[in-house]
Chain A
Amino acid sequence: QKEVEQNSGPLSVPEGAIASLNCTYSDRGSQSFFWYRQYSGKSPELIMFIYSNGDKEDGRFTAQLNKASQYVSLLIRDSQPSDSATYLCAVKAGLTTDSWGKLQFGAGTQVVVTP
């Protein structure tokens, strides 16, 4: 079982709609959760992080965390063609299982926003 799982997509979203991306993780001790955006041929860029259960909003992005169910999601409202990219979910290992706290990355979900 992969430690961090995401649907690979592509997720096709009409311009102006909401894109919903999901990520599940296996380490119950995980404390920190991150979403990265990676444009084709570029390096990943951190766009959101969340530590507590519930929602965290930043502009058009909302991260949602449910530790009991071990999933984290990212909503992109009013999707724009510039949002077309691969979105990587990353989970920071809990200190009980990895004292070094390395990030575990999912394989990413490709999002395509169509005009």
Chain B
Amino acid sequence: SQTIHQWPATLVQPVGSPLSLECTVEGTSNPNLYWYRQAAGRGLQLLFYSVGIGQISSEVPQNLSASRPQDRQFILSSKKLLLSDSGFYLCAWSVLQGLYGYTFGSGTRLTVV
């Protein structure tokens, strides 16, 4: 069966520090991968999606970036965090262009102080 791993679960980082969040998927090949952010009490905001290794599309211009170095690995990064980067970061995967929906990881709660 397919599983998605996301870590860390919580993170407190100072303003201006770098960020690296990792997501890996097991049990499937060539998944579509997504990074979402959910601010407190808000909806899901799609940040990046990837259809394959090295293929990244950005939905929202910001100081975040994403990379997909391996088929089932998706990394979200920032060189310098802002207070506004605080939120709940979710990785998700799908197959068949999301025909059966997306499956989300457990999320990382990031607080920038």
A interface residues (Cβ-Cβ under 8 A, vs B):
32, 34, 36, 41-46, 49, 88, 90, 92, 100-103, 105-108
Contact = CB atoms under 8 A, between A and B. Distances in A.
B107 A103 contact: no
Interface stretch (B63-71, B77-85, B92-100): B92-100
Given A32-B98, A100-B97, A43 B105 contact: yes
Nearest to A101: B97
Most buried by B among A36, A44, A49, A107: A44
Interface of B: 42-44, 46, 49, 51, 90, 97-107, 109
Contact of B104 (A44, A100, A107): A44
A88 B103 CA distance: 13
A46 B101 contact: yes
Contact of A46 (B43, B44, B103, B105): B103
A107 B42 contact: yes
Given A44-B104, A45-B104, A106-B43, A101 B98 contact: yes
Contacts of B97: 92, 100-101
Given A44-B90, A45-B104, A90-B101, 15 more contacts: A41-B109, A43-B105, A43-B107, A46-B103, A49-B101, A88-B43, A92-B99, A92-B101, A100-B49, A101-B97, A103-B98, A103-B101, A105-B43, A105-B44, A107-B43
Contacts of B106: 42-43
B1 to A, nearest CB: 14
B20 to A, nearest CB: 19
Contacts of B100: 49
B49 A102 contact: yes
B12 to A, nearest CB: 16
Contacts of B102: 46, 90, 103
B27 to A, nearest CB: 16
